[in-house]
Chain A
Amino acid sequence: MARKEKPVFTPPPQELRRKAVNFKKGFGLKLMPDEQRRLEEVVEKATDAFTKDVAERLRRLRAALDDVASGNDRADLAMRAIRSLSLDIKGMGGMFKYPLLTAFAKSLNDFTKDMGLPGPRQLDIIAAQIDALYVVMARRITGDGGPTERELLAALKQATARYKRS
């Protein structure tokens, strides 16, 4: 049996604590409600910038999809762009009260994550997911959306599960 290496422990570093933690000035380890509200306002103020940012990313997603569909020499790069853009949108949507955007972007990112160049069916599914992202933003669907959106998400999940490896 291989001999287990003994772990070597170092006490928690205290330099930063000594420098910044005190009993008089600053923020507690848990935010007070008014502090939390002020921080949330920072996010809310960025909502317009967020919608512009996502609109631009969606435009780039469509352009990337066109490159992949045309099978030109930028197709590999375009697939990378689809993965990267969908990951960005996944990470942003929920912060700005668009969890459905996050859900569709996650679906697209999961679908394309380990994919080479997609076939025709897979291209259709990628296009449908990008369309769904557009719809969420165009209709400003905050929250989880209604029954139609939930059905669409469920249908996309089924389709992605079926065609991911085909």
Chain B
Amino acid sequence: MSDENVADHERIDFSKISFLVVEPNKLMGQMVRDVLMMLDAQYIDRARNFETAVGILRLGRIDVVITEWALSDDHTGHTGMDIVHWIRNDPASPNRMMPIVMMTANSEEEYVCRARDCGVSEFVAKPYTVNGFYTRLAAAIARPRQFVRVGEYFGPDRRRRRLPDYEGPERRAPTEAWSLTG
């Protein structure tokens, strides 16, 4: 069977995966939870701010994080980016290569680039379609990318395309230091 055929037959058993949904908007958080439950997810934890999210992550049970960027309920000024940074870089992080899906209405290119450079696995712009959300979630779970450490960056390889015939210079450059205030 070719790789393509294998991919066509692969399935994701969501009942085996533990999720953390970080979303201060109650309705949107509930929606993600309902969609995950429809996919047969059995363990879904929820948080509305950085502190609660990190508290849950420290327990080491979470496999996949789905986080909003803007944590309006977080009076410490933390954002979803701080959660990404904590997972990818903090010595206390239980799994620095955990899939992270960022969902946000901050959908402009500038934000997509900042999220990518912080180490998110997939980015979902709100408002989203369930199909768009599912495609990115499935990719984060079933198609993990290699990780790379370069300069201050640690996260999924940001180069998504492979160009086998490319003979030009290596364009990868150390990233700028990421600041906690984003």
A43 to B151, CA, bound (A): 42
In the complex, whether A131 has a CB less than 8 A from a CB of chain B is no
A16 touches B130 (CB 8 A): no
Interface size on A, residues (CB 8 A): 50
Mark out the residues of chain B between 1 and 42 whose CB falls within 8 Å of any chain A CB in the assembled complex. 7-17, 25-28, 30-31, 34-35, 38-40
Q: Which of B134, B142, B145 contacts A21 (CB 8 A)?
A: B142
Mark out the residues of chain A between 86 and 106 whose CB falls within 8 Å of any chain B CB in the assembled complex. 87-88, 90-96, 99, 102
In the complex, whether A124 has a CB less than 8 A from a CB of chain B is no
**Least Cβ–Cβ distance between B69 and chain A, in angstroms:** 9
- Report which B residues bind A (CB closer than 8 A): 7-17, 25-28, 30-31, 34-35, 38-40, 63-64, 70, 72, 97, 99, 104-106, 126-131, 134-135, 138-139, 141-151, 157, 170, 172-174
Complex interface: chain A residues within 8 A of B39 (CB): 27, 39
Chain A, residues 1-31, CB within 8 Å of chain B (1/0): the string is: 0001111111111101101111111111111
Pairs A-B, 10 closest by C-beta atoms: A91-B105, A94-B127, A91-B126, A26-B13, A7-B150, A26-B11, A39-B130, A12-B144, A95-B127, A10-B147
